[in-house]
Every structure is written in C-alpha cells, then in structure tokens.
A = this chain, B = another copy of it.
Amino acid sequence: MDNFQFFSPTRFIFGKDTENQAGTLCKEFGASKVFIHFGGGSVVRSGLLDRVKKSLSEAELDFVQLGGVKPNPEDTLVYEGIKLCKQENIDFILAVGGGSVIDSAKAIGMGLCYDGDFWDFYSGAAVPEKTIPVATVLTISAAGSEGSESSVITKTDGMYKRGCSNDVIRPVFSILNPALTQTLPVYQTAAGAADIMAHIFERYFTNTKNVETTDRLCEGLLLSMLRELPKVLEDPDDYDARANIMWAGTVAHNNIIGVGRKQDWSSHDLEHELSALYGVTHGAGLAVVFPAWMKYTMNHDVMRFAQLAVRVFGCEMDFFHPERTARKGIARLEQFWRACGLPIRMEEIGGKKDDIPYLVGHLELNGGTLGSFVPIGEAEAAEIYGMMFEK
C-alpha cells in the first residue's frame, strides 16, 4: 500500500426534508450573504429552489441567485458568478443541483479569493490556497462532487475541459435528500449510477499491490449498486434504494475507498471526448468506454479482472482459464448496463468509426499518456475507441 493523506471535512446532512435545514446550516457556517447557484428549470419547477430560499429567509440570511449552469459547466458562467459575488459582497456559496452546478460553484469560490484568472487553477498555472465556503444541496447521485476535492470546468474558447483537485475546495456541508432524486428520468438515474460505478472502477484498476481493504470497499459499493439500481428503475419512488445509491455515490468519490493506491482515470479522459463530440450524458458515455477499456487492458492483470468477476459479478472462477472468468465479468457488466437502459456501444450514441482520429486528436495527451494501470497513448486510444464499435 502507498503512503497517503485523507481529509474529508464535509459535513453530510442526509435524509428526508433535510433541504429545509439549508438556512440554519449556512448561518452556522458563518454565512451572512449567500450566493445560490443552480442549473436549469427543474429545481425551480420542483419547488426546491423556493424551499431553499424560504429556509435562508427564515434564518434571516440575504441571498442572490444565478442559474443557468449546463452539463459540462463553462468558464463564462464562472466569470459571471465571480463578478456578481464581488458586486454583492457574497461570503458563502450554496450550490443547488448536481455535479455541474457544484463544480461551477467550486470554481467561483476559488476565483473570489484569487487576484488572477480562476482558470489558472485548471490549467495548472496556480494552486488554490483558499476559497469562499461552498455548500451543496444535491439533486442527482452521480458525480460525487458533493464530497470530493475536485471540479471540472470547460473553457469555451477552444472547448478545453480541465479539472482542479485540491482539498480546500471540498464543500463545507452537503445536504443529501434522496427524495429529491425521485423526479429524475430513468435514463438520468441510470447514467448517474454508471458514473458512480465508473468512479469505483477508476480506483479499482491499479498496479498497487496488497490493497485488500480498499478493494473490498470498492467491491462492496459495486455490489450495492448492482442490487439497488434495478429497484429504482422498477420503482422510481423507492426511497430506500435511492438512499443507498446516494450514499454509495458520495462514498465512491470522497476517496476513502481509493486511498493508498495509484488510480487510473484514463476512461474518464476517453469519455470526455464522447460527451464533447456526441453530446452524450457523461455517465452513459462511461458505459460505452469502460467495457472496451476493460477488454483492452484485461491481459495486463487477468487476475484482478477475475477477482472483480467473481467477487462482484458472481462469476464462478475458472481456475485453469482465469481469462474466461475475467471476460465473463466484463460481459456481465455490459448486460447489467444494457438492462438498465444504457448504451454500451458507439453506434447507440451516434458514434462513427471515421471520428476516431478526431477523438484521439482531441485527447489531452501532450505527447504523453493517459492513465496508469495501462498507459494509454494515441495508438492505444485509437484501438480502444475502435473496440467500442465491436458487437
């Protein structure tokens, strides 16, 4: 196991009606004027935004609001948010939404405490040292940003999608009410779940040896996802199943299950290009990327894939042909995602073989490679994209 630091100071307030505590909590965390950040109309239509505002008013807190965050949140709205927050003397940010809204809020929070361009934190030109406190009211189980140290923003000038990771941007509190996810369309619920599973896979596939405790925690979360997601797809109002998925999504990405090992993350990079070119939802894109990536990298460590197949996907171990077990595990993952209504092949998201050079060309390789389990350069990426077309 590798040396590591783990620091997750976010306070999680989990359960029914917890959004009504937003005002009290903001006040407890020192807010005097709150910037409410959100996305499209769903938080308005559902009445959530009004409930949050009512809670702030009851706590005698002033607030201003800025909506309009889109999936793959953009720098332009971040600049607008920073400007508005400065004008209004904001000292606290409350993100009401999913990963995109939270990531945008994190960028604004850092930007407010920095004289330069906030993009420096995403381009790698600077390291964030502080932020205006950011808190969240989560509306979809997926990105894990409610408890994570990361934020991903897209620079519209050139469409560069870049991430910033630093413990200072972990939210100070996150309100997690599983009932808020009950209005999500089935497809978005499934795509969110695939994103959660992908966060686990990115950590699971490692070259670090002897990481049994975190392996078992990863496997435990995956087993829970396999059992709880179908319940939600069958009955969208199954609060408990949504609660299990929501806590799994947070634990999957606050990194308690991923410490002490070298993680991979090349599949996320490969997926970003699919979202950019085809507009596919991030989690659905990951359901296309992972099976191909797994088939490509399987021979690098057949036994790790066999372990996943046996422990998570209930395959019987073929002791004399472990690669058969490994392949069966990948096949079961595909069957699971397909049964949940997710795409698992390029054709299903409008992908074309002719686009492969374009996809590869847009990867942020800089002459290097992606990932660490198996380093992925241009040739490897092209091959993996190609395998996403195979039946």
Q: A11-B6, A13-B5 are in contact. Are A216 and B210 (CB under 8 A)?
A: no
Q: Which of B6, B14, B209 contacts A4 (CB 8 A)?
A: B14
**Are the CB atoms of A1 and B213 closer together than 8 Å?**
no
Q: Chain B residues near A15 (CB, 8 Å)?
A: 1-4, 260
Q: A1-B244, A5-B13 are in contact. Are A221 and B214 (CB under 8 A)?
A: no
Say how far A307's CB is from chain B's closest CB, in angstroms. Answer: 12
Q: Does residue A212 face the partner (Cβ distance < 8 Å to B)? A: yes
Q: How far is the CA of A1 from the CA of B248 in the complex (A)?
A: 13
Chain B, residue nearest A6 (CB): B12
- The stretch among A107-115, A223-231, A286-294, A342-350 that forms the contact with chain B is A223-231
Q: How far is the CA of A210 from the CA of B178 in the complex (A)?
A: 14
Q: How far is the CA of A239 from the CA of B2 in the complex (A)?
A: 11
Give the A interface residue count (CB, 8 A).
Answer: 46
Q: Chain B residues near A228 (CB, 8 Å)?
A: 212-213
Say how far A260's CB is from chain B's closest CB, in angstroms. Answer: 7
**Are the CB atoms of A210 and B240 closer together than 8 Å?**
yes
**Are the CB atoms of B256 and A256 closer together than 8 Å?**
yes
Q: How far is the CA of A243 from the CA of B260 in the complex (A)?
A: 9
Q: Does residue A8 face the partner (Cβ distance < 8 Å to B)? A: yes
Q: A7-B11, A14-B4 are in contact. Are A213 and B256 (CB under 8 A)?
A: no
Chain B, residue nearest A11 (CB): B7
Chain B, residue nearest A248 (CB): B213
Q: Does residue A241 face the partner (Cβ distance < 8 Å to B)? A: yes
Q: Does residue A211 face the partner (Cβ distance < 8 Å to B)? A: yes
Q: Does residue A219 face the partner (Cβ distance < 8 Å to B)? A: yes
Question: Copy number of this protein in the oligomer?
Answer: 2
**Are the CB atoms of B12 and A5 closer together than 8 Å?**
yes
**Residue in A16, A209, A239, A247 with the greatest tally of chain B CB atoms within 10 Å:** A247
**Are the CB atoms of B244 and A212 closer together than 8 Å?**
yes
**Are the CB atoms of B1 and A243 closer together than 8 Å?**
yes
**Are the CB atoms of A9 and B12 closer together than 8 Å?**
no
**Are the CB atoms of A7 and B12 closer together than 8 Å?**
yes
**Are the CB atoms of B11 and A247 closer together than 8 Å?**
no
Say how far A174's CB is from chain B's closest CB, in angstroms. Answer: 10
Q: A209-B240, A260-B243 are in contact. Are A14 and B6 (CB under 8 A)?
A: yes
Chain B, residue nearest A178 (CB): B1
Q: Chain B residues near A243 (CB, 8 Å)?
A: 1, 210, 260
0/1 interface trace, chain A 1-45, chain B, CB 8 Å (1 if under): 111111111111111101000000000000000000000000000
Q: Which of A223-280 contact B (CB under 8 A)?
A: 223-224, 227-228, 239-241, 243-245, 247-248, 251, 256, 259-260
Q: Does residue A220 face the partner (Cβ distance < 8 Å to B)? A: yes
Q: Does residue A217 face the partner (Cβ distance < 8 Å to B)? A: yes
Q: How far is the CA of A210 from the CA of B228 in the complex (A)?
A: 10
Q: Which of B14, B216, B227 contacts A223 (CB 8 A)?
A: B216
Q: Which of A135-178 contact B (CB under 8 A)?
A: 178
Q: Which of B1, B209, B227 contacts A212 (CB 8 A)?
A: B227
Q: Which of B210, B221, B244 contacts A210 (CB 8 A)?
A: B244
Chain B, residue nearest A21 (CB): B5
- List 7 A-B pairs, Cβ < 8 Å: A7-B12, A8-B8, A210-B240, A212-B244, A213-B244, A214-B247, A217-B251
| A contact residues vs B (CB 8 Å cutoff) | 1-16, 18, 178, 209-217, 219-221, 223-224, 227-228, 239-241, 243-245, 247-248, 251, 256, 259-260
Q: A7-B12, A14-B259 are in contact. List 4 more A-B contacts (CB 8 A).
A: A1-B178, A5-B13, A213-B245, A220-B220
